[in-house]
Chains A and B, each alone.
Chain A
Amino acid sequence: MEKMKLKLLYSDLKSDIDIIEQELETAVNSSSHLINDASLHLLQAGGKRIRPIFVLLGAKFGDYNIEKMKDVAVPLELIHMASLVHDDVIDDSDMRRGRPTVKSQWNNRVAMYTGDFIFARALEYITKLEDPLVHQILARTMVEICNGEVIQIEDKFRLDQGLKDYFRRIKRKTALLISSSCELGAVAAGVDTKTVGHLKRFGYFVGMSFQIIDDVLDIMATDKELGKPAGSDLLQGNITLPILLLKDDPQMQPYLAKVFAGTLTEPERQKMLQYVRKSDAIAQANKMSDKYLKKALQEIDALPKHPVKKKLRDIALFMGKRKF
């Protein structure tokens, strides 16, 4: 239902998104049938395709040409996909989007090769663009995402961290790639530097809001909606915003101690989720997401007059209020 709403939001981009979907399938086509199976398995699991969408919307402020833009949009989605395949190895996740992960369907090594293959295909694709600036932006983003993941592992099961640590982590984990999607679409379409700056910051703020909502949904949504057990982030040791806001709560501490000791039972997980859901932490986290959303909307206001501004606003608002 939510995905339908999102599709409706960018219905006027449908033909271009269809081109990107087709191109994604072409991009992962391989002489290895195992890589083909694993990649198609990932593609068919769907996803919101928000990175390609932001590439296209960013490019609308300049010389828009879908044939050129697909060479930016496709690699960004591929990089996102590849990082998910490797993340599932790191997190030992068996399910994603309600489907078995590559590592659980095959094994870790197959997941590593599939991820490396998709990463390489992404770079092969984007080298159709010769502009070094495009590559510099994307390369720095990729390195920073990795740094963020390293920090995330270092921060696991650590309660002696603050909001600053959390925001620094989600910036690298999510906001940077969304920000770069907006920026790269605009740069590739020859948009002026000032507008590129607004789009880049818009992407950053939307990405921050998006990740906070994602972390809230990990607690608020059902196992079925998530396609994995609710509270998985915490069970894997990732301290997300709602948990961070509750870390000193005396009623929460026994649950945290059990999670960290790996002794939390299923009924206890349900009780813990119930407690967090009813707490003020959810409202506070939503408020912080709204703050970022507001900043994103301010960036849209600063953009030159263009019909696509309304689209950016609608998508940003949707992402900030989504229920899946």
Chain B
Amino acid sequence: MNATYIQNSIAQLKTEIFMDVRHRTLQKYTGVPVLDENQLFYLLVPFLNGEEWQQEQREAAITVGIVYAALAAHDHIKELDATSKEQQLTVLAGDFYSGRYYEILAMSGNVALIRNLSQGIVSRCEHQIKVYEAEKRTVEQWFSSISTIESGLIAQFFDLYAFDAYVPIIEKSLLILRLEREWLSYQRGQISLMSKALEQSAKQAGATYNSVMQDKIVRLKTELLQFLDQASFLQNDVKQALQARVEASIASTNG
């Protein structure tokens, strides 16, 4: 397995997701669904590692991707003025994608995954909305929320198909990637609500945003590399692909 094979697998998954949620009007005004290639990569890790991956698992992975696209569409809604046609249709695009993931799984009778993904969405929404709540939270609580937001749905899918050994890998990896994105935006002066919340919690703990972010990212990367080193269930080439992603990300953090 090489980088091209991985890239092709991601591209194929992406194409299948696009095909399943194709909608002329929505595409015209809102574009194609937003999909994070990293999330798609980690979604495919059990497949890349040679786990049983029949039509059911493939379809399941597609629906997880659709759910991410649905929620990502709603993340694009502006807080105060969503009156443009593009924004109105973005609300509906998210609802349409949600309907489609449900329809696909209903047609194949995969009620268990509908249940798991619903629980995942419930949990994700509960963590997403925390930035609007007045409650004081610790930095670690925010990290835990981000982890749920980024990887909770994939974890639900992995749990159902007994791929739970992969959960720590995706949790750590996706958290690292999100924290790096947040940190980079912060340094550019584009401070998200999540970064504002982290900044405030860091301050309450007598630390700075930069220090808590750097410490967490370095710690997560060390833990991840150690985990990968000891993960005997991973094929060597998959391990290398996972390590390569982390190392690339280490370079970006240090750089």
Residues of A participating in the B interface, judged by any CB pair closer than 8 Å: 30-35, 83, 86, 89-90, 92, 106-110, 112-114, 116-117, 119-121, 123-124, 127, 130, 132, 135-136, 138-140, 142-143, 145-147, 149-150, 153-154
Contact = CB atoms under 8 A, between A and B. Distances in A.
Contact of B126 (A86, A117, A147): A117
Given A90-B88, A90-B92, A153-B85, A132 B129 contact: no
B74 A113 contact: yes
Interface stretch (B7-15, B35-43, B94-102, B208-216): B94-102
Contacts of B92: 86, 90, 146, 149-150, 153
Nearest to A137: B106
B79 A123 contact: no
19 contacts: A30-B126, A31-B126, A32-B130, A86-B91, A89-B77, A107-B132, A108-B79, A109-B79, A109-B132, A112-B77, A114-B129, A119-B121, A120-B119, A130-B111, A132-B109, A139-B102, A143-B99, A150-B25, A150-B89
Contact of A143 (B70, B103, B133): B103
A35 B83 contact: no
Interface residues of B, number: 46
Contacts of B132: 34, 106-107, 109-110
Given A35-B129, A120-B125, A142-B102, A108 B82 contact: yes
B82 A89 contact: yes
Interface string B103-119: 10111010110110011
Contacts of A113: 74, 125, 128-129
Contacts of B135: 33
* Most chain B beta-carbon neighbours within 10 Å: one of A114, A119, A123, A132: A123
Interface in B176-230: none
B99 A139 contact: yes
B111 A146 contact: no
A107 B79 contact: yes
Contacts of B118: 120-121, 123-124, 127
A92 B83 CA distance: 6
A34 B130 CA distance: 8
Contacts of A109: 77-79, 132
A146 B100 CA distance: 10
A34 B133 contact: yes
B111 A139 contact: no
Contacts of A92: 82-83
B19 interface: no
A108 B77 contact: yes
Contacts of A89: 77, 82, 91
A132 B71 CA distance: 25
Contacts of B95: 83, 86, 119, 142, 146, 149
Given A112-B94, A150-B92, A142 B99 contact: yes
Contacts of A150: 23, 25-26, 89, 92, 96
A235 B203 CA distance: 48
A86 to B, nearest CB: 5
Contacts of A90: 82, 88, 91-92
Given A116-B125, A132-B106, 19 more contacts: A31-B126, A32-B125, A33-B135, A34-B129, A35-B125, A83-B95, A112-B91, A114-B125, A117-B122, A117-B125, A121-B122, A123-B118, A132-B111, A135-B105, A138-B102, A139-B99, A143-B100, A143-B103, A146-B95
A41 to B, nearest CB: 14
A154 B83 CA distance: 14
A109 B90 CA distance: 12
Contacts of A106: 132
Which 6 pairs between the two chains have the least Cβ-Cβ distance? A135-B106, A120-B121, A139-B103, A124-B118, A127-B115, A117-B125
A311 to B, nearest CB: 30
Contact of B94 (A35, A116, A124, A135): A116
B170 to A, nearest CB: 21
Contacts of A31: 126
B80 interface: yes
Contacts of A149: 92, 95
